[in-house]
Amino acid sequence: MERVIGVIGGSGVYEIDGLKDAAWQQVHTPWGTPSDALLCGELDGVKMVFLPRHGRGHVHTPSTVPYRANIDALKRLGVTDVVSVSACGSFREEMAPGDFVIVDQFIDRTVARDNSFFGSGCVAHVSLAHPVCATLSALCLQAAQNEGVTVHMGGTYLAMEGPQFSCIAESRMYRDSWGCDVIGMTNMPEARLIREAEMCYASVAMVTDYDSWHPEHGAVQISDILKTLGGNSANARGLVARLPALLGAQHAPCTQGCDQALEHAVMTAPEKRDPELLAKLDAVAGRVLGGV
């Protein structure tokens, strides 16, 4: 099948040199309005879709990002592979500001977000044992290395609700007791929803600070984060620009089964399924629900 790369990121990440036929497209979803219009184009013969996670101008907090609408919109545009690019704090000395981390595990501490497309009337349980696509993640690693970025393969991402940063006690607990490597506010429920929508997912976390655990760096300051983000965004654009050549224009079946995540996940008997909910699931779950 044809590959379409979706990129979820912040300001500047969708400004990719060489993107052909670039056009902003409004997408309507049964889950509401996405964070923004989506920028659609083609790079090196591969279709790409860019979604500003917080909206242009940063209008959404991490808690108010319309995650379900965003993922549904990507699915409706035919996206097969999603690369999430986001800022994070680091709990590890060796994961320094300016470095990238290819995340492979999550601990979800969010509490105020809709984290599933399914619910009463159509219940489904997908596996999140391996929440990212190993193949896509490995290619993101290669792209980062080719771009000359200091990048770390593997790491546990603590997803916090925010919008405030951690206090010192929380930061030390996440680092020392829980064994987390980085912390951010946006990769959950993003990863959960992308798995339900049967798309491959990779998370590229860009380190901006040491959170508040580090005795020599003090409290997180937004001014310091913004300084680091400038260089990170340039590197992220370079990473993203290298992906089409590495991935190719055709999407083979995922060896990890990301594109078949719903195969045996829907539990509700067909005669008990809620027609209204089924109608909303037409894009993300139509493959297993009979093309509703």
Beta bridge partners of 39: 24, 50
Token pair in block for residue 263: 């195969």
Q: Rounded distance, CA 110 to CA 114, Å? A: 10
Out of 72, 81, 108, 211, pick the active-site residue: 211
In this structure, the strands spanning 100-103 and 38-43 are unpaired
Q: Which long-range contacts (CB under 8 A, 24 or more apart) does 175-179 make?
A: 175/91, 175/92, 175/211, 175/213, 178/107
* Dihedral angle computed from the Cα positions of residues 88, 183, 73 and 194, in that order, rounded to the nearest 10 degrees: 130
For the question of residue 104 being annotated catalytic, the response is no
Q: 271: phi > 0 → left, psi -120 to 50 → alpha, else beta; which?
A: alpha
Out of 72, 99, 108, 209, pick the active-site residue: 209
Q: 179: phi > 0 → left, psi -120 to 50 → alpha, else beta; which?
A: left
For the question of residue 211 being annotated catalytic, the response is yes
Catalytic residues: 209, 211
